[in-house]
Amino acid sequence: MDDGYTDWAVADSQSIRSDCGDDRSIAFVSGNFNIVHPGHLRLLRFAAEQADRLVVGVNADDAPGVTLPQDVRLENVRSIGFVDHAVALREPAGGFIAALRPNVVVKGKEFEKRCNAERTIVESYGGRLVFSSGELRFTSLSLLERDYTDAESSAIRKPLAFPRRHGFEIGQLRHLLASMAGMRVLVIGDLIIDEYITCDALGMSQEDPTIVVTPIMTKTFVGGAGGVAAHAHGLGADVKYCTVVGDDEHADHARDRLSSQGIGCDFFVDTTRPTTRKQRYRALNKTLLRVNHLRHHAVSAEIQARLLAAVERALPQCDLILFSCFNYGCLPQRLVDAVSAPARAAQVMLAADSQASSQVGDVSRFRNTGLLTPTEREARMALNDFETGLSAIAERLLAKSGAENLIITLAGEGMLINTIRDGALQTDRLPAFNVSPKDVAGAGDSLFTSTAMALRAGADIWQGSYLGALAAALQVSRVGNGPLTAGELVAEVDEQPVDHD
């Protein structure tokens, strides 16, 4: 190596080492990267899995086989999400490796039987030279990432007859969303950690009739009532969240995630339960299996008293209370009643969603609220009636619960909206706005949150339910229960509607 090579190699390597920190391991890969193709991505993904940080060296323009300028190739490599540092090499990679001293140097499998000049350098400082071309995967990781982050709004169909019937225009929802900014919302209910494990489907086991998969990516979301809190914050509210968690790292993760968003968290630790966690194993855009880690028993009287005290402290600065109950023990009836009475006395609006997909619950126990949003099964379960017509179910549930407004969600069939006006039941229906949902998890939470906030902001149930249906359509257009934002809803409100009635 000449001095010029040493100078730039040492300078670049020191900069990278400083950024990575002494406690982080480094993997290094080098190549021409004329066009980044799937083989490159497999190799780089494998290398990234070998250490904490991935550094990629892009060969100089005079290297054999180079067909594009180095700055173009360098920009392409830097655009790859799991590459932490991309370096423009000025000479063969050996000198830079000697300066950087990466823990692992990765080369393609085709180089394993050849003479590798890097071997002596790597072994001199105790590093490893590894040969692999990565794993063949039949799923595009970039497409999977977009499933979690990009909402596919082209599948959303906004009906026009409904707003005509109820005397409003879709554009008015923009002003409604603006009026939610700064609303003070208190969310109470079960926290759930949602883990999505995306897998490649390898085929059928030869030993038994079992589908064989291999995990390739995990995404974690704060769900349950934590998801409701995140939705409310995304819609512009000032949010405080009270819940019960276990004494574990999942509670710490949820607190850190929500606090970083600006949500005030009161977490009450119950050592008799883990933080509720649901794992969904997905392949080929379908959920194959869900594994739940939870306990159903009610929290102790002592925890209830502490939670109630936190609610009472928050009540004077509260516009809306959202009960988000999954019937895992966070909201026993005594606590619900103790929260509801002073809230009603202070004229704070109450709304409740009580989910009972794999457990038993009774949404009617949330008395005299401004809004209930059960599924049809949950509505029938509350009345122990699985035969009567749906309109009659709605009328009876309104009477039993004392709710002002009731939305019964019907999955792909949309929703039935019900309210009592001048002593008479008024009912209307909205279809599902999204004709090609990716993942229905979180649809109910987004509908519930946005509709309740709309009602508190002064909308009637027809405007509120339409906004809620739009929120649910956006939510199911991506995978996972990530929070909605007011900006996403405004963009969809502004999208020119086509009459699909």
Asked if residue 388 and residue 326 are part of one domain, the reply reads yes
Q: Which pLDDT tens digits describe the chain residue by residue (501 residues)?
A: 333 345 777 777 788 877 777 788 999 999 988 877 667 787 888 899 999 999 999 999 999 888 889 998 898 888 888 899 999 998 888 889 998 999 999 998 878 888 888 899 999 999 999 998 665 444 444 444 544 455 455 578 899 999 999 999 999 999 999 999 999 999 999 999 999 888 888 776 677 777 787 888 888 889 999 999 999 999 999 999 999 999 999 999 999 999 999 999 999 999 999 999 999 898 877 888 889 998 989 999 999 999 999 999 999 999 999 999 998 999 999 999 999 999 999 999 999 999 876 567 789 999 999 999 999 999 999 999 888 878 889 999 999 999 999 999 988 888 999 998 887 889 998 998 988 887 777 789 999 999 999 999 999 999 999 999 999 999 888 877 778 899 999 999 988 665 555
Which tokens belong to 483? 């929070």
Is 499 inside a domain boundary? no
Is 201 inside a domain boundary? yes
Asked if residue 201 and residue 54 are part of one domain, the reply reads no
Is 83 inside a domain boundary? yes
Nearest Cα residue to 276 out of 239, 310, 248, 241: 248
Asked if residue 97 and residue 60 are part of one domain, the reply reads yes
Residue 393's φ and ψ, nearest 5 degrees, are: -60, -45
Query: Pick from 103, 131, 159: which residue ends a domain?
Result: 131
Nearest Cα residue to 226 out of 482, 473, 470: 482
Asked if residue 148 and residue 126 are part of one domain, the reply reads no
Is 137 inside a domain boundary? no
**Which pLDDT score is estimated for 122?**
93
Give the dihedral of Cα atoms 135, 136, 140, 144; nearest 10 deg. -50
Longest pairwise C-alpha distance within the chain: 91
Query: Pick from 64, 96, 131: which residue ends a domain?
Result: 131
Asked if residue 153 and residue 117 are part of one domain, the reply reads no
Domain that holds residue 25: 3-131
Q: How many domains does the chain fold into?
A: 2
Is 197 inside a domain boundary? yes
Give the neighbor-by-neighbor strand order of the sheet with 53-58.
85-88, 53-58, 26-31, 104-107, 128-131
Asked if residue 118 and residue 194 are part of one domain, the reply reads no
Contact (Cβ atoms closer than 8 angstroms) between residue 91 and residue 4: no
pTM: 0.70
Cross-strand pairs, 405:
419
Asked if residue 19 and residue 66 are part of one domain, the reply reads yes
Asked if residue 446 and residue 383 are part of one domain, the reply reads yes
Give the neighbor-by-neighbor strand order of the sheet with 211-224.
211-224, 191-204, 277-283, 286-293
Which tokens belong to 293? 């880690």
Asked if residue 149 and residue 19 are part of one domain, the reply reads no
CATH classification of the domain holding 95? 3.40.50.620
Query: 58 — alpha (psi -120 to 50), left (phi > 0) or beta?
Result: beta
**Which pLDDT score is estimated for 425?**
83
**Which pLDDT score is estimated for 218?**
85
**Which pLDDT score is estimated for 231?**
95
Q: Can you tell me whether residue 220 is helix, strand or coil?
A: strand
Other Cβ atoms within 10 Å of 27 Cβ, number: 25
Asked if residue 438 and residue 328 are part of one domain, the reply reads yes
What is the dihedral sign for C-alpha 392, 364, 234, 171? positive
Is 187 inside a domain boundary? yes
Cross-strand pairs, 429:
416
Is 500 inside a domain boundary? no
CATH classification of the domain holding 468? 3.40.1190.20
Residue 316, C-beta contacts closer than 8 angstroms, at least 6 positions apart: 346
Contact (Cβ atoms closer than 8 angstroms) between residue 403 and residue 344: no
Is 136 inside a domain boundary? no
Give the neighbor-by-neighbor strand order of the sheet with 238-245.
264-269, 238-245, 184-189, 320-325, 349-354, 371-372, 405-409, 415-421, 424-430
**Which pLDDT score is estimated for 23?**
80
Q: What is the C-alpha to C-alpha distance for residues 80 and 49, in angstroms, rounded to an integer? A: 14
**Which pLDDT score is estimated for 138?**
42
